[in-house]
């Protein structure tokens, strides 16, 4: 496994722990770094980090994965799953991932402020030089991606 900088590794740990403990699936780095989730199968949301650094974190996954997670959590069949249930799961996951990520990045007990998750629509925003992308997949090879953007956010332990 390649050695990553602390920020990169902290996010992988946050995503792994969140998905393992909340929805009971394991996550690893995607074997194909060039893989992109097709737009027609894309679901994503975003959340602002306001303090002590500023930035945004986005979670993107295939709608098929979102449906699978929803069915598992609610114990229902595919045809009973609602869009609201899937959106709620995406938001809970991002909220928890960012909370864990910030807790582990910041010095002990340092407080942080973050906003509420907001659902995105259509294609993901363009990435710039202050964006870091994590390409991950579940043990069933369903893809998910995380983006952290914002100069002061990605500068945290990014050495």
Residues that bind another protein (CB under 8 A): 17-18, 20-24, 73-74, 85, 88-89, 92, 95-96, 99-100, 102-103, 109, 111-112
Supply the minimum distance, in Å, between the C-beta of residue 115 and another protein.
12
Task: Give phi and psi for 114, each to the nearest 5.
Answer: -135, 160
Alpha helices in 19-138 (DSSP H): 63-74, 83-105
Q: Kindly report the number of other CB atoms within 10 A of residue 69's CB atom.
A: 24
Nearer to another protein, 45 or 96 (CB): 96
Supply the minimum distance, in Å, between the C-beta of residue 107 and another protein.
12
Structure tokens at 151: 């100069």
Which residue do the tokens 């002061």 mark?
152
Supply the minimum distance, in Å, between the C-beta of residue 135 and another protein.
21
Q: Rg (Cα) of the chain, in Å, rounded? A: 15
Nearer to another protein, 16 or 130 (CB): 16
Task: Give phi and psi for 121, each to the nearest 5.
Answer: -135, 145
Nearer to another protein, 106 or 133 (CB): 106
Which residue do the tokens 């956010």 mark?
153
Supply the minimum distance, in Å, between the C-beta of residue 60 and another protein.
19
Nearer to another protein, 29 or 92 (CB): 92
């Amino acid at each position: 496994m390649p050695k990553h900088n602390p920020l990169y590794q902290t996010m992988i740990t946050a995503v792994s722990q969140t998905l393992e403990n909340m929805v009971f699936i394991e996550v690893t780095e995607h074997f194909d770094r060039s893989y992109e989730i097709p737009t027609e199968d894309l679901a994503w949301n975003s959340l602002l980090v306001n303090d002590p650094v500023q930035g945004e974190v986005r979670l993107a996954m295939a709608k098929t994965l979102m449906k699978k997670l929803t069915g598992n959590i609610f114990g229902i069949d595919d045809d009973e799953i609602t869009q609201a249930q899937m959106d709620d799961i995406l938001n809970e996951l991002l909220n928890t991932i960012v909370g864990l990520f910030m807790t582990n990045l910041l010095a002990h007990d340092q407080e942080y402020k973050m906003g509420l998750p907001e659902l995105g629509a259509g294609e993901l925003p363009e990435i710039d030089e202050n964006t870091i992308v994590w390409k991950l997949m579940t043990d069933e090879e369903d893809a998910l991606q995380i983006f952290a953007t914002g100069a002061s956010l990605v500068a945290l332990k990014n050495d």
